[in-house]
Structure 1
Amino acid sequence: MTGLESHDVPAAVDPANWELRVTGAVADPLRIDRSWLSTFPAETFTQDFECVEGWTAAGLTWRGFRVGHLLERAKPTVQSGHALVRAMDGEYACAFPIERLASAVLATELDGEPLGVDHGGPARLIPTESESDCWESVKWVAEIEILESEPTDADTAEALALSRIE
């Protein structure tokens, strides 16, 4: 038991057809499936997951791949400075400065097991710095769109995430 709470999985989320796209202001757009993702060096780290809903899942062990490795292959343009990370559900997205996103991990395992769809599998973005907000941990990551300008609040799902808090 992870202690990590889950929410209903949207109907649009189909882990069997998962792929990750790196698009936008890049020299080499990417389409990555599970087998190609496994060619990147994996890392394991443990951290608490604190949610604004008021609960904490202590000592979760995540395993995954630094987003920076994906960005190196996609080659963002010199002008790019931001990114939107989009979920498979087509509704959820979170904005990041590109340097901050590069240090985040795309997790594919939780506590030694493949990451289940109820917890954001097959791939979930886990920002690794301590000042991260829980809603920045994007479940079902399907696209990383590199941008040359800063996204607006309307581009992100912060309001959507916070509206789910009862």
Structure 2
Amino acid sequence: MKNPFSKKTKGPKKPLTIEQKISRRNFISFGTFFIVSGAAYGGWKWLYNSPEEVATVTAGARAPLRRALNKTELAFRRVFSNNHLVKTYPKAMAAKNVRHNEDIGSEGKIDVAAWKLQVKKQSGEVLSISLADIKALPKTDIVFDFKCVEGWDQISHWGGVKFSDFIKHFKLDDQTALQYVGLETPNKGYYVGIDMPSAMHPQTLLAYEVNEKPLPPKHGAPLRLIIPVKYGIKNLKRIGTITFSNQRPPDYWAEQGYDYYSGL
């Protein structure tokens, strides 16, 4: 007589069919997708409903996003060094027609002969420097991949004087002990703030040429900033004034919600 309480012996487990395996994988994949999507939507909704930052030098971003951007800047600055060089290319690879994006602050033509760069030291002393004074310094060329925050990039060729050479020649070394450089167009329509290490980077130029020709108005004649370690929004065209400070200088796009540091 069979014991009614005895356990039934199970036979060997049948392996899953290919259709069953595919169904299980699909179930796991779709389940994961919906969980991640739900979390992402929840995060977006939370950020969207967060208060805007209090407008100071930066503005226009949600407060949590601005805090995250500022923390990212600190992380970038801790590892930044002059050994962090942007990749360069042969001149033959440079675009013949360099892309023109915005004219904010540099609209129309300018009298290059009458133009003077105003350099304002923290002490209040102002240097007035002509284009000829700048061209008298050793020239440096760079061919690199210019990157825009909009997502496009282009290999382009620029020529001018290293910002670090400019600082040394005009005996502005004491100003580099400060934390920031501010640059502004002559009409004050466009302005950027640059952290001092990036400004003094060996690839940063005060450029007066593109493709070995004088800058045309649309590319910032007579002098513009070329700073390969930053996105294009920091590469100010038609420089009118340079200042130095320990506080973040005003920055056009940071006031519209963009990252102040904008480093690469």
Confirm whether residue 10 of structure 1 aligns to residue 107 of structure 2: yes
Q: CA deviation at 1:161?
A: 7.4
Match of 1:139 among 202, 224, 237: 237
Q: Contact 1:105–1:125 (CA<8 Å) still a contact in 2? A: yes
In the alignment, which residue of structure 2 is the partner of 1:68? Answer: 164
2:139 and 2:256 mapped to 1: Cα distance? 28
Describe the SS at the equivalent of 2:242.
strand
In structure 2, stretches of 5+ residues that fail to align are 1-95, 259-264
Confirm whether residue 109 of structure 1 aligns to residue 209 of structure 2: yes
Change (3 A) 1:83 1:95: same
User: Which aligned pairs between 1:145-156 and structure 2 lie closer than 5 A?
Assistant: 145-147=243-245, 149-151=246-248, 155-156=250-251
The TM-score normalised by the length of structure 2 is: 0.53
Aligned residues: 156
In the alignment, which residue of structure 1 is the partner of 2:222? Answer: 122
Match of 2:192 among 94, 114, 120: 94
Q: CA deviation at 1:20?
A: 0.9
Q: CA deviation at 1:138?
A: 0.3
Describe the SS at the equivalent of 1:141.
coil
**Counterpart residue type for residue 14 of structure 1:** I
Residues 119-166 of structure 1 deviation map (CA, whole Å, 9 limit, x = unaligned) = 11111101132xx1110000001111011x2215xx111246779xxx
Residues 30-82 of structure 1 deviation map (CA, whole Å, 9 limit, x = unaligned) = 21111111111110110111212232222x11100011122222423475221
2:210 and 2:219 mapped to 1: Cα distance? 9
Instruction: Return the structure number with greater strand share.
Output: 1
Q: CA deviation at 1:109?
A: 0.5
Match of 1:22 among 119, 143, 167: 119
In the alignment, which residue of structure 2 is the partner of 1:38? Answer: 135
Instruction: Return the structure number with greater helix share.
Output: 2
The TM-score normalised by the length of structure 1 is: 0.81
2:176 and 2:206 mapped to 1: Cα distance? 23
**Counterpart residue type for residue 97 of structure 1:** D
Moved more, 99-108 or 15-24: 15-24
Cα-Cα RMSD: 2.5
1:67 and 1:84 mapped to 2: Cα distance? 13
In structure 1, stretches of 5+ residues that fail to align are none
Q: Percent identity?
A: 20
The structure with the larger Rg is 2
